[in-house]
Structure 1
Amino acid sequence: MNYKIGIIGYGVMGKTRHTAIDEIKKGQVLMISEPSIGADMNGIPNVSHEEIINNPELDVIIVCTPNFLNKDLTIRALNAGKHVFCEKPPAFTAADIVDIKEAESRSGKTLMYGFNHRHHDSVLHMKRLIDSGEYGKVLWLRGRYGKSVTKDYFNQWRAKKELAGGGILMDQGIHMLDLFLFLSGDFDVVKAELSNLYWHMDVEDNAFVILKESATGKVASLHSTMSQWRHLFSLEIFLEKGYMVLNGLITSTMSYGEETLSVARNRSTAPAATWKDEVITKYVNNNSWRYEMDHFFDSIDEGKPIVYGNSDDAMKLMTILDKVYEQKDF
């Protein structure tokens, strides 16, 4: 089916989603809504949010707006009978997700969230290996995700709690938390330290999070930071019979370095510190944007539930974030 699509928010992410839609050829963007540009973009009319939501010709709405708009626009679009794809974060709290799920249930429409990192080829390969049981159960995970920001960050909506909902954890660390859940399952114990020692904003510039699943003893640790002075992505997963280490992430700027996955069996005897047994794969193409849009539109076509990035995933994630932000002491 050739879906008729409107995109609300036409910044970097809106343009990225538009490109992916054009590449997979399963729909056509008929209108956009972006206050920072003129009356049209390459012949596509630029209209108000309301005009997109209430347009009876549109089947699908893509929401790529600042965080504070995500919940409201998602619910309004579902209530208008549209299928919805929304960027992360889904909302600010787990209570918000309850409201969204009610609208989703009433509408009978497809809702998917843009947890894009799930769709990287490296992560999908890790998921297949873990699910195969070949390496045993996950014992522990460690994620580091950080970047450096400049003083103009103060002027961005991401620096304001009422617009962003949180700081670096809500902006970037949320992707790593989502990968923990995607690759290893849920956690019920959450311990955290949040700080703003350098930027002194009302949102965190560092988040240190420890997660535990009581039933199995599985533990995960996350450090999400904007005072690292360099971009870094690193996800390590250690299992009963081996490990997987993903360093770097393909982005448009490649500021996180090459996306490289190392996989090996466990080694408990000397020389345990040599790495010749690792299988190393370097990924050079970022197919994640296309995979993500394919999954969304295929789910609509086939009437099947969203598997990667559904509202249940959003609820689990926001429940953890609620527990983290309850421990904020500044």
Structure 2
Amino acid sequence: MSHKIGIIGYGVMGKTRRTAIQELKKGEVVAISEPNVGAEVDGIPNVSHDDIINNPEIDVLIVCTPNFLNKELTIRGLNAGKHVFCEKPPAFTAADIIEIKEAEAKSGKTLMYGFNHRHHDSVLHMKRLIDSGEYGKVLWLRGRYGKSVTKDYFNQWRAKKELAGGGILMDQGIHMLDLFLFLSGDFDVVKAEVSNLYWHMDVEDNAFVILKESATGKVASLHSTMSQWRHLFSLEIFLEKGYMVLNGLITSTMSYGEETLSIAKNRSTAPAATWQDEVITKYMNNNSWRYEVDHFFKCVDEKCPVVYGSSDDAFKLMTIIDKVYEQKEF
């Protein structure tokens, strides 16, 4: 099935999504909506948000806008009878997601959120191994996700709470939290320290988050930061029978370094465990954008449930973020 697609927000992410759509031949982008880029881009008409949402020929809406528009445009797209793919964050709060889910249910259309980290080949490999049970149950996880920003950050919409909804946690940490849920399941206890000791904005520059699943005792820790002065991505998962450590992440700028996954099994009995036969895999390509768009259109065409980035996933994620921000002191 060939789809008529409208993209609202034609910055880096809008262009990235269009490229994936073209590569997969999933449809035609017939309209974009992006201020200050002219009447058309690459022959595609640049129209208003309303023109895209109200166009009956457009059956798929891709939302790649600043955070504060995500909820409104998603609901409007669903209400207009369109399938919607929206970048993260899904909204600002879990209550927002409840409103979105109501519109989703009423529309009967497909809604998916862009959490492309789930679609990295390294993460998908970790997911398969964890689900197989070969390494036993997940005991604990540790995630560090940080970047350095410059003073011009103050002038960007991401530095303003009313436009971004939050700081580095909403920007980057949300991806790591989503990976915790994706790879290990739910958490019901949330403890956090959220600060802005360096940049002194109205959004946080650091978030330290501890999650726990009461039933099993599984714990995860996250540090999300923009005062690290370098880019870093590190995800460690320790299980009953081994470990998986992912360092680096393939991006267009390669600012996070090489994407390297190390996996090993515990060959001896705890507590005197030793680690042997570590398998190290380096991933050279980022296929996540293509995998993610392919999954969305498969769900649209086959009318099957979204597995990666559903509104249920979004609700669980935003419930945790709500609890983190409730503990913010500044």
Short-chain TM bin:
over 0.9
Q: Distance in 2 between matches of 1:308 and 1:201?
A: 33
Give 1:18's aligned amino acid: R
Aligned residue for 1:297? 297
- Do 2:137 and 2:239's aligned partners in 1 also have CA atoms closer than 8 Å? yes
SS in 2 for 1:176: helix
Is it true that 1:237 corresponds to 2:237 in the alignment?
Answer: yes
Is it true that 1:282 corresponds to 2:261 in the alignment?
Answer: no
SS in 1 for 2:99: helix
- Matching of residues 105-124 of structure 1 within 5 Å: 105-124=105-124
- Matching of residues 319-330 of structure 1 within 5 Å: 319-330=319-330
Q: Distance in 2 between matches of 1:268 and 1:292?
A: 39
SS in 2 for 1:58: coil
Unaligned runs of 5+ in 2: none
Is it true that 1:87 corresponds to 2:87 in the alignment?
Answer: yes
Q: Distance in 2 between matches of 1:324 and 1:298?
A: 34
Q: Distance in 2 between matches of 1:17 and 1:170?
A: 21
- How large is the RMSD of aligned CA atoms in angstroms? 1.3
Is it true that 1:224 corresponds to 2:224 in the alignment?
Answer: yes
**TM-score, length basis structure 2:** 0.98
CA displacement, residues 120-148 of structure 1 (integer Å, 9 cap, x when unaligned): 00000000000000000000000000000
Is it true that 1:213 corresponds to 2:213 in the alignment?
Answer: yes
- Do 2:266 and 2:276's aligned partners in 1 also have CA atoms closer than 8 Å? no
| Structure 1 residues 257 and 276: CA distance shift in structure 2, 3 A | farther
Aligned residue for 2:18? 18
For residue 249 of structure 1, report the CA deviation from its aligned partner: 0.2
| Structure 1 residues 212 and 274: CA distance shift in structure 2, 3 A | closer
Aligned residue for 1:253? 253
- Matching of residues 136-155 of structure 1 within 5 Å: 136-155=136-155
SS in 1 for 2:308: coil
Q: Distance in 1 between matches of 2:221 and 2:41?
A: 43
Give 1:136's aligned amino acid: G
SS in 2 for 1:102: helix
Give 1:205's aligned amino acid: D
- Count of matched residue positions in the alignment of Structure 1 and Structure 2: 329
Q: Distance in 2 between matches of 1:224 and 1:268?
A: 34
Unaligned runs of 5+ in 1: none
- Over 2 Å off, 4+ runs: 267-270, 272-276
Q: Distance in 2 between matches of 1:298 and 1:70?
A: 23
| Structure 1 residues 273 and 146: CA distance shift in structure 2, 3 A | farther
Q: Distance in 2 between matches of 1:315 and 1:120?
A: 22
For residue 36 of structure 1, report the CA deviation from its aligned partner: 2.6
**TM-score, length basis structure 1:** 0.98
Q: Distance in 2 between matches of 1:36 and 1:92?
A: 27
- Do 2:265 and 2:276's aligned partners in 1 also have CA atoms closer than 8 Å? no
SS in 2 for 1:112: strand
For residue 274 of structure 1, report the CA deviation from its aligned partner: 8.0
Q: Distance in 2 between matches of 1:329 and 1:61?
A: 38
Aligned residue for 2:2? 2
- Matching of residues 24-103 of structure 1 within 5 Å: 24-103=24-103
Give 2:44's aligned amino acid: I
Q: Distance in 2 between matches of 1:209 and 1:199?
A: 20
Q: Distance in 2 between matches of 1:276 and 1:264?
A: 6
